[in-house]
Amino acid sequence: MAELGPYIEMTKKYAADFDIAAMEKIVKHLGIALQSRDSSLVSCSDPEELKTVRESWLKNKLGATQSDDELDSMIEDVCATMKDEKSNKSRVTFYYLLAEKMGKLSSL
């Protein structure tokens, strides 16, 4: 499993009630994707990337049933929250914040 240190530090900046067990599950879910810098980051300026986040993470993994517009709005909120990270938006932190926003951390 990937080292959690860098993910913990970034996520704690944005998550008030940090849950390390939930983060460990996200890291395990992402697995090999975290080995590549490109796939370990989320690009909020890439519509295809954000569609993948919506379809793969929100719908498939978290079981979201909201409309695409509602889910896209959640994604935009996380992009805005992490805007200071510029092009270094950690996928682990991004997914964590989405799961937190949906109230799904405990069901990961």
Q: Which fold has domain 5-107?
A: Recoverin; domain 1 (1.10.238)
Q: So where are the chain's domains? A: 5-107
pTM (2 decimals)?
0.93
CA–CA gap between residue 77 and residue 39 (Å, rounded): 21
Residues 14 and 81 sit within 8 Å (Cβ to Cβ): yes
pLDDT in tens, 24-64: 999 999 998 898 988 999 999 999 999 999 999 999 999 99
Torsion of the alpha carbons at 68, 70, 73 and 77, rounded to the nearest 10: -130
CA dihedral over 103, 49, 59, 91, signed as positive or negative? negative
pLDDT score of 3: 75
Mean pLDDT over residues 2-21, rounded?
87
- Give the model's confidence band at 79: pLDDT under 50 very low, under 70 low, under 90 confident, else very high: very high
For the residues of 68-95, what is the DSSP string, one character each?
Answer: HHHHHHHHHHHHHHTGGGTT-EEHHHHH
